[in-house]
Amino acid sequence: MSIKTLVSAVWLALAGSGAIAAAAPAGKLYVSDERGGSVVIVDAGSGAITGRVNVGKRPRGMQLSPNGRHLYVALSGSAIAGPGVDEASLPPPERRFDGIGVIDLATARLQKTLPGGTDPETLAVSPDGRTLYVANEDGMQLTSIDVASGTTRARVSIGVEPEGVAVRPDGKVVYVTCEGAGAVYAIDAQSLQVIAKIPTRPRPRALVFARDGKLGFVSDEIGAAITVFDAASQQVVRTIALSANGDSLLRPMGLATTPDGKSLYVTTGRGGALLEIDLASMTQKRSIAAVGQRPWGLALNTAGDMAYTANGPSGDISMINLATGRVERRVNVGGSPWGVVFHQ
């Protein structure tokens, strides 16, 4: 028997016994194209575009269902208003396009569209998967939706320009950042009543929780900081000032915590950088410069070694190796990428 034949035989025997495991799939990225009306599906390993799902007008915020079977997408009939645009000059909103698209991930098709209040921008899902909480930017409301029936449970009046939504990991309190109010509104998930108003630096955007659910982190766009609050007392405990080589255009946007709970990553919009916050010391650890043009949406993979940013003006997403701090690949998805979700 030749050496080549012997090696092949040994490899086949090991593979058959399970000693050699097949490489795990890299996962998929789902990217909302705000101007193109679709969700683009990208292979997280190769960067290849594997599909597009037409969902409706102006898709922005997205969330996976807890069981990983569906992707919820916020859709809006309100016109896009960029920086410096006088909203009074815009055409009237087309409310028939407002809603929450439900994508079946097994078939990669839009299954249905749920009513989601006026101008849905972002949303969160309860830990049990039964309820959606939607930020209605134009309506100054939070809408609570029953997933099974598709009906609205309640609409809660909150501050000006609701933006980010997150549910405390225990499912008992829902939080909404309100840009115009400079505050986070805490809402009891059972009674759907506002129970606290947490002040932030100017223009709060995204909100995430520590892995143990004890602390909440808010990106303050104009304040160039992260507001940290205690999720039990609803009190601010720290404000973390951010910097990126003295860039005056630093605008904290998207947030994501690593799977090990040790770091918080922050996109910076026009600042073009990705920042890392050490959660043990509550200080900025590093700045990864020039990750993309106005990076906004942010996701990490399940291993916590890759970050993905949605770069609207350049129509692409960036794949960033967090160990080296380098952009490994830029993937042109077209349109105006707003949000990105990773799914293994």
What are the pLDDT digits (tens) for 42-61?
A: 999 999 999 999 999 999 99
| Beta partners for residue 199, in sequence order | 183
For the ranges 8-17, 95-104, 175-184, which has the lowest average pLDDT? 8-17
What's residue 3's pLDDT? 47
- Report which of residues 154 and 1 the model is more confident about: 154
Mean pLDDT for the stretch of residues 229-246: 93
Share of the chain above pLDDT 90, in %: 85
Mean pLDDT for the stretch of residues 114-127: 97
Three state DSSP letters for 241-304 = ECCCCCCCCCCCCCEEECCCCCEEEEECHHHCCEEEEECCCCEEEEEECCCCCCEEEEEECCCC
Contacts of 222 (CB under 8 A, 6+ apart): 201, 202, 203, 251
Mean pLDDT for the stretch of residues 218-234: 97
What's residue 90's pLDDT? 79
Element (H, E) at 115: none
What's residue 86's pLDDT? 64
Decide if pLDDT at 33 tops 90: yes
Round the average pLDDT of the chain to a whole number and report it.
92
Tokens 């950042």 correspond to what residue?
177
- Summarize pLDDT for 283-307 with one digit per residue, the tens: 999 999 999 999 999 999 999 999 9
Contact 242, 253 (CB under 8 A): no
Decide if pLDDT at 204 tops 50: yes
Q: Binning pLDDT at 50, 70 and 90, where does residue 8 land?
A: very low
What's residue 82's pLDDT? 66
User: Cα separation of 160 and 144, whole Å?
Assistant: 18
| Beta partners for residue 288, in sequence order | 274
Share of the chain above pLDDT 70, in %: 90
What's residue 7's pLDDT? 41
Mean pLDDT for the stretch of residues 209-214: 96
Mean pLDDT for the stretch of residues 103-112: 98
pTM assigned to the model:
0.92
- Summarize pLDDT for 185-199 with one digit per residue, the tens: 999 999 999 999 999
What's residue 10's pLDDT? 42
Tokens 């026009």 correspond to what residue?
270
What's residue 19's pLDDT? 44
Q: Binning pLDDT at 50, 70 and 90, where does residue 81 land?
A: confident
What's residue 331's pLDDT? 98
Q: Binning pLDDT at 50, 70 and 90, where does residue 89 land?
A: confident
318 burial (CB, 10 Å; 0-12 / 13-18 / 19+) is: buried
Residue 343 structure tokens: 């799914």
Tokens 């209040």 correspond to what residue?
117
Contact 118, 157 (CB under 8 A): no
Contacts of 191 (CB under 8 A, 6+ apart): none
SS3 content of the chain, % helix, strand, coil (to 5): 5, 45, 45
